Amino acid sequence: MLRKLYDVDFGLMAVSFLLLCAGLLMVYSSSAIFSGETVSGPFFYFKKQLVWTAISMVFFIFFLNLNYKYLQKVAPGIIIAVFLMLAGVLIFGKTVRGARRWFDFGPINFQPSEIAKFGVIIFLADYLDKNKSKIKSLTRGLLPALLVVGGVSGLIAMEPDFGTPLVICLSSLTLIFIAGAKIAHVLLLLSMTIPAVSFLLLTMPYVTSRVSAFLNPWEYARSASYQLIQSLAALGSGGLLGKGLGRGEIKRFYLPDMHTDFIFSIIGEEAGLLGTLLVVFAFVWFFYRGYVIARESRDFFGVLLALGITLTIVIQALFNIAVCCGAVPTKGISLPFFSYGGSSLIFTLSAVGVLLNISSNKKSIM
């Protein structure tokens, strides 16, 4: 353990724990009033997040000390487990707000789509490493990988959840392209998704209302666009330096999910433009350190695994920020390190543990 911490990439470790600490602070600030009025006091969500942080640290330490190459050996089993869990949650999962995304184990609700993000990256890193000579072939190299990615994304979309599949597909396609796939093949596969997206827009009211609200938010200000309008109000009212920690007004029952999907908006109101830019810069720095770890990895599996993990976390962060700013349609997608919830935090810190594990085993060949 001590040797690992001595050898790891300090830049990535520092920014990860700074984001984690800032996230805990914002969970308390964003949820205190709501939890004080609805559950058992202002510290309810904060204390639960502390428990999840402690559990996540166990996973972090485990993956920090488990040689990342072992993940390649168990990659087929991991992706099979992912498919079984995603199929199982559609049958036995707990329904919340019309979505069946969680396994309910009493006091613990577990979201298998968070493991799916991790599992797909491990599978792809293993597959692309073993089939790098075939990756330029559409049928023998690219198609089998995309069938797995598409299958996982399709099961998650059936919950319904369209934010997570988008993150998985974008990070997977980027990783496949970096591994050597032809850009023409990638663009062809992207174009093949247009009929599926069109079908969703035309047949699913859930998707149609989100898109309509995004295109004309003020027309739906009291319904589908309510969260977006309140989010923009929070960001705009923060000014340059913000109103101060704990002094935000939008979280006073105006903005639903303020401690989960829209916590970035509370950061904007209370820490201002400067605070939001610091968060964005932290994720940019996270991306850069992840890229450095991948570049210095001594094997191709490590390169792809490090890039895949980094891309998944950063793309998810960018989408959450874009949703809060109204740049993309509203989707239920969390902000890594910040949003309240155990499944996301366990995935994030486990992934950071793997990244630091790779960095501690690097022997640059460049």
- Residue 255 and residue 349: Cα distance in Å, rounded? 28
| pLDDT surpasses 70 at 356 | yes
* pLDDT tens track for 163-202: 899 899 999 989 998 998 888 888 877 777 777 666 666 6
Residue 230, CB-side half-sphere exposure with 13 Å CA sphere: 22
Low-confidence winner among 32-41, 174-183, 273-282, 321-330 (lowest mean pLDDT): 32-41
Mutual angle of helices 342-360 and 44-65, in 10-degree steps? 30
* pLDDT tens track for 286-330: 999 999 999 999 899 999 999 999 999 999 999 999 999 988 888
Is the peptide bond preceding residue 42 cis, with omega within 30 degrees of 0? no
DSSP bridge pairs for 105: 108
Instruction: State residue 179 phi and psi, 5-degree precision.
Output: -70, -10
The predicted structure's pLDDT at residue 64: 93
Sequence-separated (6 or more) residues with CB below 8 Å from residue 240: 272, 273, 274
The larger pLDDT score, comparing residue 298 to residue 72, is at 72
Q: Where are the domains of the chain?
A: 2-360
The predicted structure's pLDDT at residue 252: 78
The predicted structure's pLDDT at residue 222: 75
Mean pLDDT of the chain: 87
* pLDDT tens track for 225-258: 788 888 899 999 999 999 998 888 888 767 877 8
| Residue showing tokens 């023998």 | 140
- Residue 88 and residue 352: Cα distance in Å, rounded? 27
pLDDT band for position 72 (cuts 50, 70, 90): very high
- Residue 150 and residue 51: Cα distance in Å, rounded? 34
The predicted structure's pLDDT at residue 200: 63
The predicted structure's pLDDT at residue 129: 94
Q: What are the respective helix, strand and coil percentages of the chain, to the nearest 5? A: 70, 5, 25
